[in-house]
Structures are given as structure tokens and as C-alpha cells.
Amino acid sequence: MNQYPPATLEVEIERLLPGGVGLAHAEGLTLFVSLAAPGDIVRVQFDRLRGKVAFASILEVIKPSPVRVEPPCPYFGRCGGCDFQQLNYETQLQAKVDIIRDCLHRIANIADLPEIAIHPSPNQWQYRARANWQFDPLTRHLGYFEAGSHRVCDVEECAVLVPELQNTLEGLRTHIRNGSFPGAVKNVEAVVGDEGVSLAPPLAGFETKIVSRRIGDEIYHFSADAFFQVNHELLVPLVHEATRDSRGAVAMDLYCGVGLFTVPIARCFEHVVGVESNPTGARIAQLNLKHAQLENAKIVTARVGEWLDAQSLESEAVDFLLLDPPRAGAENSVIKGILARHPQQISYVSCDPATLARDLKKLLAAGYFLDSVAAFDIFAQTHHVETVARLTATS
């Protein structure tokens, strides 16, 4: 009797899907194939089978796609990061646009999408000015989680790190070899600015200090224990797209972090409120406003949904609202709070097209019009993409 499904299958990859996996069909199954390139003919093995849907990995590339390249990283396929290294850069960019378009069509039910332009990363490698490293005290491994697991891939060199963070990684590994790395530390956040590297927790001679960097006309302070974007070379066009053509009396910046958008917004509005739940991020945002000599903005340390729910709706009308939530998107309470204030313009900055589409569906159903969508390759060599969606109230 023939085995069904067979242990391995030869399939052709049709296209890439949200999540970065390749789509294929064979033997009545829909296959999601990791680390694939569109046009590949590959032999795959099944990792998981759920009804007629199979999750598979490549055993052999029988005929490589014309867009497939040799991944330069020796950890490719084991490390859980940089899952687009097998694609040439033009294909990476187009795949990200297609992923955004797919999510907005399928999840948000938007039939007529505006053109989506993507801003490429000026540096395809050595661009990450922020890293999150995992440490396993049993194996003494330091690096990133392996794909689909909590095993730590022991990484000596990471091709997407800026040189300062690569040097920091090597320094930490030296402390591991000589036994001076504290075993209680399981997670290390690192970020680099003009004053050097900030590390959280502080260890191996590194402090959790505040550093700074000039982004366009502004100087921003940040640290390892508060969020700041990883690809500094793309921040000028990102900030411009998220805040362009916005003027008025009152603006809000939700999930404001250290104030990347709050500072330029405060130069264009009479009164600005930024809301951030991380106390360190909120404190540094206030520092950035003070350094910019902006007294018309205040930072509130609170969970966004709870703060919106607690505010009176009888206050001033909101002309412009920007939100930059984490990957999970905006909570229902946040969307409800936004709609209650009915801002004239909304700028939604997102690092996940699926949750962006989910939230846009609610905003569009409540009477907003989607003006524009722009993409930014903040996370080169991965399937992740930053998106800015601009909306206007229709009434």
C-alpha cells in the first residue's frame, strides 16, 4: 500500500505568502514550504500535517529559481532570523509588497489598493543597530533562537549587525569562554548610538546607558531597555511618510516609544500628547522633547487602551493621530478609543501586515478612507516589513 501522504514530495513553489513561506500544491495538499524561492522545484519533507495543509522544509533544490541566490550566512536554515537570504534583493522587495497587498486584500477586504512603493534599505547587510541575543547557560550558547524552537543557535558572526554590535557579540562570547558571563542572564538587548553600545542588562563592562543618534534634523536619545528602530538609515524617509503634510491644533502619538514621531509632530501642531507604557521609553521621550526645546508636547506613561478609556471625550478635537503598535497590532480598546475621538487623519505605522490589515478593516468600516500605503525595508534579509498607512475621515 502506498503511503499517504508520501514521505517526500517534489513540488514547484508558486509564490511567497505572508510569513515568508513558499506556496505549493501536490497530492491534494496545500504546502507551506520554508526558505523557498518562487519558481524553485524542490524535494520537501513534511514537518507538520493538519488536514489538507502541510508545513514542509526543503530536502533538495532540484532546479533552483532564477531569483535564488546562495545564502552567505553559515547559520542560514538553522538560525531563526534572516529567512529571505535565499532571494536576490529585488525579489525580497517585491515579495514584501506582495505580502502587504495580499493581507490588505484578504484580511481587510480592500478591493482597490493604492500603489505600494517600497523604500529599499541603503545597506542590505550590516544594518541592524539593535539586537536581542539569547543565552543558554547549559550549552553556553549565545545567539538567536533556532527556527521554530527555543534552542539557541550559537552565533559567532551575524552578517546583518552593524560592526559595533558584532564587536560586542564577540566580546560577550569571550566572557562566556573564560567563565565570567553570568549564568542567570538569559536575554541580552543591545543597541548602538554615537556614544557607543548600550546593553540591558548591564554586563561585561557595558552599561545600560542612554546613547544618541542624529536622524535627519533631529537628535534622538535611546537605550537598550526602550524600543528604537533597528535600521537607522531608513528612519528619515519613514518619519517623513508617517508625518508628512500634517498640521493643526491637536495631535496624538500612541505607542510613542522614545518619541521618534512625537518630536517632528510637535513641530507641526499646537498641542501633542504621546502615550507610552514603557517607563524608560516615556522618560527618554520627554528628554528628547526637552532637547528639541519643544514645550507643546507631553508624554504620558500608561497603557494606551487604558489611557484612552480614562480620558474625557469632551476635550479638544484631534486633528492627527499616529499609532505605532507592537507586532500584535492595536488592542480592541485602542481602536475603540481612536474611533471615539474621530481624528481627521490617522497614520498607522506597522511591522506586521496581517495585524495592520485586521485593524484597518475596523477603521475603514467606521468611515475612514485609505489614502496611501508605503513600505520600508527596515528588516532586510527577512520577510518582515515596515508599513505606513495613511487614512482620512470621510465625514
CATH superfamily of domain region 92-123+233-393: Vaccinia Virus protein VP39 (3.40.50.150)
Residue 3, pLDDT above cutoff 70: no
CATH superfamily of domain region 1-68: Nucleic acid-binding proteins (2.40.50.140)
Residue 312, pLDDT above cutoff 80: no
The Cα 285–Cα 299 span in angstroms is: 7
Output the CA–CA distances (angstroms, integers) from residue 28 to 5, 6, 9, 14, 41, in the order listed.
9, 12, 12, 15, 18
- Per-residue pLDDT tens over the stretch 59-94: 999 999 999 999 999 999 999 999 999 999 999 999
Backbone angles phi, psi at 279, to 5 degrees: -60, -35
Whether the Cβ atoms of residue 49 and residue 5 lie closer than 8 Å to each other? yes
Q: Which amino acid would we find at residue 35?
A: L
Q: How confident is the model at residue 4 (pLDDT cuts 50, 70, 90)?
A: low
The Cα 118–Cα 101 span in angstroms is: 12
- Per-residue pLDDT tens over the stretch 85-125: 999 999 999 999 999 999 999 999 998 899 999 999 999 99
Task: Write down the pTM of the prediction.
Answer: 0.95
Angle, vertex CA 125, rays to CA 120 and CA 126, nearest 5: 120
Which residues are part of the catalytic machinery? 351
Residue-level pLDDT at 1? 42
- The residue among 165, 203, 202, 193 whose CA lies nearest residue 288 is 193
- Per-residue pLDDT tens over the stretch 237-271: 999 999 998 999 999 999 999 999 999 999 999 99
**Where are the domains positioned within the chain?**
1-68, 92-123+233-393, 130-213
What average pLDDT does this structure show over 138-146?
Answer: 96
Rg of the chain over CA atoms, in angstroms? 23
Q: How confident is the model at residue 395 (pLDDT cuts 50, 70, 90)?
A: confident
Residue-level pLDDT at 314? 58
| Chain position carrying cell 524553485 | 40
Residue 378, pLDDT above cutoff 80: yes
H or E element in which residue 372 lies: strand 368-376
